[in-house]
């Protein structure tokens, strides 16, 4: 049966039927077990549409929102156009000597990559390297979850494949090596006589340790005097490690305060940088970064089983495509094609589909997308279409991201500690049964369970969802917030230590801002953000048959709630005011009685 229906349809012709912005179910009239493997994965990558329904529905397969929803030839075209816009004029010549290594870390992009540009400008040949560091695939620090789950691993693999493709388009390539950077890079520097290793500067301890160990490793390399190196203390020529700031919208060196003086209140930070600093322009790139060094074997793009992980197909919800090309296309799609930027502020608290927010975070975290590029696109949109609160609000959110990055410098490892930056000594539980019910999405509260299922299935959860499940874990269950943060670390495609632990410390009331101490009431959140129970019914199909006003509190039709809510189920549908209210408690931390209520 499937041969008849499918053999004449290629993946791309199937995509042609689709309209990226709205979902449609795809139904197959045979059981999932009968679908050939290659077809199965192909189906799951089809973006879905509202205009034409393809009658191909495997049981349990549901709506998939591909992000970006564009076809691959459109992605290539858009990427090419963006690169074109950022090319240096051919008069700009490099004036360096010898070989430089570019060590790619969380900056997996060509566009607006200052480290890449500097490596090119200060050499005759650049060797771009990515080290697949086994430590990234170990376990989380305190609770032993996988440090990088299968979904983020696949996203990373796609980023590497795309980076190699984009480097090749610019007459370079990407050398892929398995092992620790502090062992691989000095050996490469020695072999190629590289005088400098350029890389993006990081701020958290694991990454800083890698920098320190690499520096030590480089001290042991002695280079021929022709390599254009500086002499080390003992007079031998050694390669230098040059770390370049590149992860934020505002450059660290442009801030109007020292790192130790960063305000503890976000609004003060934001107002100060907005009034006193300028965002630097994106770094332009030459149209050719070659010639590449002579290398026989550039190394294969790793496959997921090389990490000891099993591929996890996304069969429902958001399916992100990794890589710089997909990220540039998502910007194009969200801003220009679908014109969603103009309503971002009103839609950003949504939970269903790909349109309610930008979905830039996975690419920002892997560095496939530059925040300054987003800024320049917002400015262009404001010039060419319109400027309003929504266009500004994307920048407002990106400044939150900057803020958490800079706070990780100010507060160091305390963002990972139980007491947080304020060293609060609260009592927390590590009850395994409660935690497992949260992690598995089996708490008996549909809003929590739906969000946790979305996270496990797709590697993504909305900002609203993250705040709600965080509040539930720490406030209603009283569980050690680090367990939640580490589970997010495993699952999130956009995992970034600064944003993740920064937000969790805020949510747990142990963050740097003593005024941030919020309780998110489930009845109220449900009423405001999912009044029809559409979101919970999407992730928990057993709720679909219930009347809409019963979906959040289904009683005997669903699992029994594992804990009572701190303030009871007082706000059943319609029972509370829609707007957020706040009750202040300035003591911070742990499960207590009074909190801000959102």
Ligand X SMILES: Cc1cc2nc3c(=O)[nH]c(=O)nc-3n(C[C@H](O)[C@H](O)[C@H](O)COP(=O)(O)OP(=O)(O)OC[C@H]3O[C@@H](n4cnc5c(N)ncnc54)[C@H](O)[C@@H]3O)c2cc1C
CA distance 396 to 400: 7
Q: Pick between residue 28 and residue 424 the one whose CB is nearest to ligand X.
A: 424
CA distance 18 to 449: 30
- Distance of closest approach, residue 586 Cβ to ligand X, in angstroms: 21
Q: Name 452's Cβ contacts closer than 8 Å, sequence gap at least 6.
A: 438, 439, 440, 441, 443, 469
Its sign, for the CA torsion 200, 201, 205, 210, is positive
Q: Which of 358, 366, 490, 597 binds ligand X (CB under 6 A)?
A: 358
Asked whether residue 359 is marked as a ligand-binding residue, the answer is yes
Residues 182, 185, 191, 195: what is their CA dihedral angle, to the nearest 10 degrees? Answer: -110
Whole-number minimum distance, CB 401 to ligand X, in Å? Answer: 4
- Residue 401 is labelled as binding a ligand: yes
Determine the Cα–Cα distance for residues 180 and 125; give it in Å rounded to an integer: 23
CA dist., res. 35 & res. 513, Å (int) = 53
Shortest reach from residue 497's CB to ligand X, in Å: 8
Q: What number of chain residues touch ligand X (CB under 6 A)?
A: 29
Q: Which residue among 359, 410, 422, 552 contacts ligand X (CB under 6 A)?
A: 359
Looking at the Cβ atoms of 272 and 463, the one nearer to ligand X is 463
Cα separations (Å) of 161 from 83, 210, 321, 324?
18, 24, 11, 10
CB atoms within 10 A of CB 408: 25
Q: Is 398 annotated as a binding residue?
A: yes
Site string for ligand X, 378-417 (x = CB under 6 A): ----------------x--xx-xx--x-------------
Q: Which is nearer to ligand X, 52 or 339 (CB)?
A: 339
493 annotated among ligand-binding-site residues = no
Counting contacts by CB under 6 A, is residue 467 touching ligand X?
A: yes
CB of 367: closest distance to ligand X in angstroms?
Answer: 12
**Contact present, 348 and 393 (Cβ < 8 Å):** yes
| Least distance (Å) between residue 359 CB and ligand X | 4
Find out whether 358 is annotated in a ligand binding site.
yes
Q: Which residue is it, tokens 């991201």? A: 401
Are 145 and 435 a contacting pair, CB within 8 Å? no
Q: Is 492 in the site for ligand X (CB under 6 A)?
A: yes
- Residue with token string 């480097």: 167
Q: Which of 360, 375, 406, 411 binds ligand X (CB under 6 A)?
A: 360
HEC-encoded secondary structure of 548-563:
HHHCCCCHHHCCCCCC
Q: Where are the alpha helices (DSSP H) in 321-369?
A: 324-331, 344-347, 361-366
| Chosen residue from 162, 202, 324, 494 binding ligand X by CB under 6 A | 494
- If the CB atoms of residues 466 and 595 are measured against ligand X, the closer one turns out to be 466
Stretch that binds ligand X, among 379-387, 501-509, 577-585, 586-594 (CB under 6 A): 501-509
Where would I find the H helices in 180-265? 181-192, 205-219
Q: Count Cβ neighbours within 10 Å for each residue of 10-44 and write b for 16 or more, e otherwise.
A: eeeebbebbebbbbbebebeeeeeebeeeebebbb
Q: Does the annotation flag 74 for ligand binding?
A: no
| Identified binder of ligand X from the candidate list 503, 505, 512, 597, rule CB under 6 A | 503
CB of 20 to ligand X, least distance (A): 16
Candidate list 173, 329, 361, 426; residue touching ligand X; CB under 6 A? 361
Residue 472 CB, nearest distance to ligand X (Å)? 11
Pick out residues in 152-181 that bind ligand X (CB under 6 A). none
Determine if residue 254 is labeled as part of a ligand binding site.
no
262 labeled binding residue: no
Give the shortest CB-178-to-ligand X separation in angstroms. Answer: 25
397 annotated ligand binder: yes
The answer to whether residue 495 forms part of the interface with ligand X (CB under 6 A) is yes
User: Tokens 């590149």 label which residue?
Assistant: 246
Stated as kind and residue range, the H or E segment containing 471 is helix 463-471
**402 among annotated binding-site residues:** yes
The correct pick among 18, 79, 451, 499 for binding ligand X (CB under 6 A) is 499
The contact set with ligand X (CB under 6 A) reads 348, 357-361, 364-365, 394, 397-398, 400-401, 404, 462-463, 466-467, 470, 488, 492, 494-496, 499-500, 503-504, 507
């Amino acid at each position: 049966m499937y041969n008849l229906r499918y053999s004449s349809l290629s993946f791309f012709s199937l995509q042609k039927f689709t309209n990226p912005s709205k979902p449609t179910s795809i139904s197959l009239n045979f059981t999932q077990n009968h679908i050939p493997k290659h077809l199965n994965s192909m189906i799951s990558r089809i973006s879905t549409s509202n205009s034409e329904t393809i009658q191909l529905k495997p049981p349990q397969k549901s709506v998939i929102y591909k992000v970006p929803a564009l076809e691959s030839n459109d992605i290539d075209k858009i990427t090419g156009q963006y690169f074109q816009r950022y090319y240096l004029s051919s008069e700009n010549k490099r004036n360096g000597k010898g070989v430089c290594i570019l060590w790619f870390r969380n900056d997996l992009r060509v566009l607006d990559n200052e480290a890449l540009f500097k490596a090119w400008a200060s050499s005759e040949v650049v060797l771009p390297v990515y080290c697949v560091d086994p430590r990234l695939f170990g376990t989380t620090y305190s609770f032993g979850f996988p440090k990088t789950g299968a979904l983020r691993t696949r996203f990373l693999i796609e980023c590497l494949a795309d980076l190699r493709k984009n480097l090749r388009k610019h007459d370079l390539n990407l050398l892929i090596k398995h092992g620790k950077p502090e062992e691989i890079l000095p050996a490469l520097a020695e072999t190629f006589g590289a005088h400098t290793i350029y890389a993006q500067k990081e701020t958290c301890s694991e990454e800083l340790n890698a920098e320190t160990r690499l520096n030590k490793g480089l001290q042991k390399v002695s280079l021929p005097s022709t390599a254009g190196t500086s002499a080390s203390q003992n007079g031998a020529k050694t390669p230098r490690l040059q770390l370049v700031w590149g992860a934020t919208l505002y450059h660290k060196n442009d801030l109007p305060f020292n790192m130790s003086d960063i305000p503890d209140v976000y609004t003060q930070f934001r107002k100060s940088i907005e009034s006193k600093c300028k965002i630097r322009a994106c770094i332009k790139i030459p149209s050719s970064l070659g010639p590449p060094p002579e290398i026989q074997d550039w190394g294969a793009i790793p496959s997921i089983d090389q990490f000891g992980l099993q591929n996890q197909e996304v069969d429902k919800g958001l399916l992100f495509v990794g890589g710089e090309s997909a990220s540039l296309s998502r910007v194009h799609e969200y801003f220009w094609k679908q014109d969603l930027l103009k309503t971002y502020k009103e839609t950003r608290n949504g939970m269903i589909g790909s349109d309610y927010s930008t979905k830039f975070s996975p690419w920002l975290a892997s560095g496939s997308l530059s925040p300054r590029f987003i800024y320049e696109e917002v400015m262009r949109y404001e010039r060419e279409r319109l400027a309003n609160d929504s266009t500004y609000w994307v920048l407002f959110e990106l400044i939150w991201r900057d803020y958490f990055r800079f706070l990780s410098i100010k507060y160091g490892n305390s963002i990972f500690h139980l007491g947080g930056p304020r060293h609060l000594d609260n009592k927390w539980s590590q009850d395994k049964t409660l935690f497992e019910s949260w992690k598995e999405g089996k708490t008996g509260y549909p809003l929590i369970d739906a969000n946790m299922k979305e996270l496990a299935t797709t590697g993504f959860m909305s900002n609203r969802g993250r705040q709600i499940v965080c509040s539930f874990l720490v406030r209603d269950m009283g569980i050690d917030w680090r367990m939640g943060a580490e589970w997010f670390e495993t699952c999130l495609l956009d995992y970034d230590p600064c944003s993740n632990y920064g937000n969790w410390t805020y949510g747990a009331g142990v963050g740097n801002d003593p005024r941030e101490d919020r309780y998110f009431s489930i009845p109220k959140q449900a009423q405001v953000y999912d009044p029809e129970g559409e979101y919970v019914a999407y992730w928990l199909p057993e709720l679909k048959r219930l009347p809409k006003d019963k979906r959040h509190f289904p009683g005997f039709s669903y699992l029994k709630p594992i804990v009572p809510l701190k303030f009871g189920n007082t706000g059943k549908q319609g029972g509370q005011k829609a707007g957020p209210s706040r009750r202040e408690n300035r003591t911070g931390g742990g499960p207590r009685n009074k909190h801000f209520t959102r």
